[in-house]
Amino acid sequence: MLYIMNAEKKRIYYLKRQIIFPHCTLSVILQKSEIASGIERGDRLVTYPIRFMPDLLLYKKKTATLSEVAEIAEKENALTLTLKGLSRVTITKINRFQEAEFVPVREVMPDDPEALREELKKKAQELIFLINVEESDRLISLMSYLVDLNQMTDFISNYFILNFKNRYALYRERDIEARITTLMSLIDRLIITIKKKRGDAVP
């Protein structure tokens, strides 16, 4: 069964072609209005990525993120919210486009998580070395602390997969092994692209 326990209800916020992965953060700007009023630090809401207009109506069984308001910055007529993703959820109902009913996503774990974790970590580290940005050392250090496969796949997807279509596919994949397979394939493509731009030999 996909749905377990009773559905919870939270305010919903729509993200236009943006995704908040669990364990990651995203800053969004809200105009001061009824939908933005009453939001406080620590509040939880459902963030729902919208690709096309039909997603507003065909929302059932779609993936969203239960998020927490980590910071609020007020400037003139707008609020900047820093949202932290907590977990994937499945939307079951949206009430008047303002409130979402949802249940937790039951994700399928692989049979041999340790082997997959090490393989994914090595692949990500290879990409980080090639990119060689100022944050490379910090990113590699962070990778060493990530032991949960869910957290690792979301972290890598958030920081290194920029194409929205690919990000969305990773975000919606509930089979962790399938998600890792897709993610490593995308990383391989990035590595090849970077090597070609640098003039390195590509097998």
- 104, 139, 167 - which closes a domain: 104
Instruction: Give the range of the structural domain holding residue 25, as residue numbers without chain letter.
Output: 8-104
State which amino acid sits at residue 80.
T
Residue 188 has pLDDT above 90, yes or no: yes
Pairing of the two strands 25-31 and 63-75:
unpaired
Of 175, 172, 173, the residue nearest 111 (C-alpha): 175
- Judge if 39 and 98 occupy the same domain: yes
- Is 25 part of a structural domain of the chain? yes
Q: What is the pLDDT of residue 203?
A: 63
How far apart are the C-alpha atoms of 185 and 191, rounded to whole Å?
Answer: 10
Residues 184 and 126 in one domain: yes
pLDDT digits (tens, 9 = 90+) for 117-176: 889 988 888 888 887 666 677 777 777 777 788 888 999 999 889 999 999 999 999 999
Same domain, 91 and 160: no
Strand positions, DSSP E, the chain: 8-16, 25-31, 44-50, 63-75, 78-95, 99-104
Please state, rounded to an integer, the average pLDDT across all residues of the chain: 86
- pLDDT at 6 exceeding the cut of 80: no
Co-location of 128 and 87 in the same domain: no
| Helix or strand (DSSP H, E) at 185 | helix 176-198
Q: How far is CA 83 from CA 22, 122, 168, in A?
A: 10, 29, 18
Rounded distance, CA 163 to CA 37, Å? 32
169 by Cβ neighbours in 10 Å (0-12 / 13-18 / 19+) ranks as middle
pLDDT tens string 46-91: 999 999 999 988 899 999 999 999 998 887 777 888 999 999 999 9
Final residue of a domain: which of 40, 70, 104? Answer: 104
Clarify whether residues 95 and 170 are in a common domain: no
What CA–CA distance (Å, rounded) separates 1 from 154? Answer: 24
More confident residue, 202 or 34: 202
Q: Are 26 and 86 in the same domain?
A: yes
Residue that the structure tokens 């993610």 belong to: 183
Q: Which of 73, 104, 135 is the last residue of a domain?
A: 104
In this prediction the pTM is: 0.86
Residues 119 and 66 in one domain: no
- Average pLDDT of span 81-110: 92
Q: How far apart are CA 149 and CA 118, in angstroms?
A: 10
Does position 34 have pLDDT exceeding 50, yes or no? Answer: no
The pLDDT of residue 1 is 31
How many independent structural domains does the chain possess? 2
69 or 201, greater pLDDT: 69
